[in-house]
Amino acid sequence: MNRPAAAPGPTQDDRRWHALAASEALEALQSSPQGLTAPEAGQRLEQYGRNELPPPPKRSPLLRFLLQFHNVLIYVLLAAAAVTLLLGHLVDSGVILGVVVINAIIGFVQEGKAEKALEAVQAMLASQAVVLRGGQRHEIRAAELVPGDIVLLASGDRVPADLRLVRSKNLRINEAALTGESAPVEKSAAAVGEQAVLAERASMCYSGTGVTFGQATGVVVATGGQTELGRIGKLVAGVAHLATPLTRKLEQFARRITAFIIAASAVTFAFGHYVHGFGAVEMFLAVVGLAVAAIPEGLPVIVTITLAIGTQAMARRNAIVRRLPAVETLGSVTVICSDKTGTLTRNEMTAVRAILPTRTIEVSGAGYAPDGGFSVDGETLDPATADDLLHFARCGLLCNDAEVRHAEGEWRLAGDPTEGALVTLALKCGLDRGDEAGSLPRVDEIPFESEHRYMATLHHDHAGHARVYLKGAPERVLSLCRAQANGQPIDRAYWDERLHAAARDGQRVLALAACELPRNTTALSMDDVTDRFTLLGLAGMIDPPRPEAVEAVAQCQAAGIRVKMITGDHSVTAAAIGAQLGLDAEHALAGQEIEGLDEAALAERIAGTDVVARASPEHKLRLVDALQARGEIVAMTGDGVNDAPALKSADIGVAMGHKGTDAAREASDVVLTDDNFASIANAVHEGRTIFDNIKKSLLFILPTNGGQAGVILLAVFLGLALPVTAVQILWVNMVTTVTLAIALAFEPAESGVMQRPPRPPAEPLITRLVLARVVYVSVLVMGVTFAMFQWELGRGVALEEARTAAVNMLVLAQIVYLFNSRRFVAHAFAPGMLTGNPIALWAALGLIALQMAFTYLPLMQSLFHTAPIGLEVWLRMVALAMLVFLLVEIEKAVLRRLGVVRL
């Protein structure tokens, strides 16, 4: 029946929803227990707007641009520009400002891109909500909720809007985000007093709070800025900032090197002025050139660009980084603890075996499509003639919250995969959910929780008889059963043998049972679930490993990363799946065994296996602690609300984007949008690549800056004419920052990035090998530049021409060293060295074009005091540049002979 659209009151008045009865609230909102229709929801969405809080204020573009100058490195350069301007050296001052402004523009543009990337990540991580619309369950974005929507809540969900409860079951809500009360509070659908304060409104669930236990149904009474959270101006989540431990470490390094450069510049000025008698202005300009040459002002920008590129690359590979420090930590991971279902496997459960008291029935078909048949010992079975199978399938269908629907040409699941398999099994038996629910409507239920490991539902027929259907872990259900469906007592030996047989085949097993309660029983409690049930049978289901997960596990193992599978399945089942994945599954560790081990024994035991079975969320937390006690860097996956402590405790918490709860996602560092283990391996690959590229940028910037500064230092201390003037060195610094330094941020991964052991987390950024490379290349660059300058002077050319040759020599040496830097120790003679990173090639060609202009354009000659040079000079410079290239390659060859794989 169509209802008129709601008036605009519900989200705009101060109606005391908590004091109204549930039926009165529904009436006021012009809704019903079946929810709104799609047209009504669309009309209300247009009327009230999206269920989103007002966005936080953003920094203006002008402020973001000005903040690019808020850096100690830039302050030194600006001071130098001001003094040179006062001295009347307009060109020098203009070039210094050019360096600073170009650096600021690059930073401004890349920061804008990074913010957009983070906004895209927030959109990809938008909360979902399960609603009833027209009596059908739908999963929609929380932003599309409207007043009058009926929302279904379960453990681990984040409440998506302000709700008036219609019905609840053992519901507890963590309202710390709203009230500051850390302990979860109990909720119920009963109305409370009109004057009840916010923390005492037990009939309300407020936006931004979290469900810690139980289930509930509620009607939306307020959305967006009209919610309690919106009214007091709090935000559910903030935007991530680009500061990370690595960038802070680099900023600290920059401050130290700046202090050192200033001190070195003062010593150089004093030595040149007082020892060699150079003029004060001349020496000041020389030390300005020295400072600008040595200060790595582009380094923070390069790191920001590299991190932004890396997080976007991860997002393209289905791994959303919520906290940027995770990018750095990923490169150090030594152990990945992964859930089995849906992460290492397909999460497309299919019931393939119905184990009944008197026979075992094989089921054909795969996935959620109700296609397939039944057979016993190879003989086809008509399910319509098999009462034991029908009773078994009916239990699996009714004690079930999943829905399997045909939409857009395929069968889709809404709900838990194991429940979906039971729904599909019932459909194959010819049972119709609507008919069965009409004959035996559900009155109450006990939802599945990991603590009790079963789900129970209470049903009435139309004569008042009360029946309970039960499904859950076989050991738990068997302990609650007195008899079998054939009237015989429970034969534990028979069922244990069937359980082991199914487990050996890699099947997950659920037990199904039923019992009668007194007539007209209307409520179901834990006290009703005792050893009174009749066992109907076991359902054997398979969830095959993902082919890409098998490959990813092998890739991680080759990278020195151990993969440990953690599952709630039976030990034998877990071992079977683990073996298929290539894990060490011979001595699986069971949850019961974990409980009997102390911390030291657990740390020793977990080192000897890759498979953990029958594990609870509490066990996960202990496993993380045990592995970390052994010095491991642990990545842990999780999807439930109870996984949050383990996700937070792990070095990298990885939540599932599809099946994961909001609580798990908020506790995580990385979210997988496809719930696929291969995406974790891809994230580790990208994390290692990002860190490598940052380190390569350091290996390029520091020695080239050192070589530039060394040229000036050598000339001053030898009392010789400067091979390059201050303004020329400023030019070199400006154009190389724009071109060469940025190219390494786009470097693809080295071929062996996943064949080497993880990076030790305590390893310093500047290792001894890195420092040795920096000094070695600095000396080479300085040497060839000085040699070229002296060669040209020895030929009797003018000083301007000799300096022009020296500047070009400096640039050519940096160009060839860029291609050395693309690999840490691997040789640079591979076919893809020129084409593997097109940015590097185009940067080099662009820089050569700039140097042609610098050398031959009259305007540039006037500004920078350059002169044209002949072909033979270029040939000498190319020869010396190739010498630098070869000498660096020789050093890399020596390192390879010594077994070094990375610096």
Active site residues: 339
CA distance 263 to 702: 18
Helix (H) or strand (E) holding 706: helix 677-718
Residues 6+ apart with CB under 8 A from 687: 310, 314, 326, 327, 328, 329, 330, 331, 333
Give how far Cα 347 sits from Cα of 178, 341, 680, 709, Å.
Answer: 36, 6, 17, 60
Q: What are phi and psi of 431, to 5 degrees?
A: -80, 140
Report phi then psi at 298, rounded to 5.
-85, -5
DSSP 8-state code for residue 133: E
Cα-trace Rg, the chain: 35
User: Which neighbouring-strand residues pair with 152?
Assistant: 130, 217
**Alpha carbon distance 176, 663 (integer Å):** 13
The residue type found at 472 is G
Q: What share of the chain is helix, strand, coil (3-state, %, to 5)?
A: 50, 15, 35
DSSP for 481-515, written as a single string: EEEETTSPBP-HHHHHHHHHHHHHTT-EEEEEEEE
CA 488 – CA 483 distance, rounded (Å): 6
**Contact present, 371 and 365 (Cβ < 8 Å):** yes
Return the amino acid letter for 143. Answer: A
Residue 365 gets the label, from left (phi > 0), alpha (psi -120 to 50) or beta, of left
CA nearest 319: which of 673, 664, 648, 653? 673
Bridge pairing between strands 410-414 and 403-407? antiparallel
Strand partners, 141: 128
Burial classification of residue 593, based on how many CB atoms lie within 10 Å of its CB (0-12 exposed, 13-18 middle, 19 or more buried): middle
- CA separation for the pair 811, 809 (Å, rounded): 5
Which two structure tokens, joined as six digits, stand for 634?
């642990």
Determine the number of helices (DSSP H) and then strands (DSSP E) in the chain. 31, 27
Q: Which of 617, 567, 607, 608 has the alpha carbon at shortest distance from 590?
A: 567
Phi, psi values for residue 217, rounded to 5°: -125, 135
d(CA 129, CA 131) in angstroms, rounded, equals 6
200: left (phi > 0), else alpha (psi -120 to 50), else beta? alpha
Residues in the chain, how many?
Answer: 903
Neighbours of 672 (CB within 10 A): 27
Measured at the CA of 538, the angle between CA 535 and CA 539, to 5 degrees, comes to 140
Give bridge partners of residue 444 from the DSSP assignment.
458
SS3 label, residue 416: coil
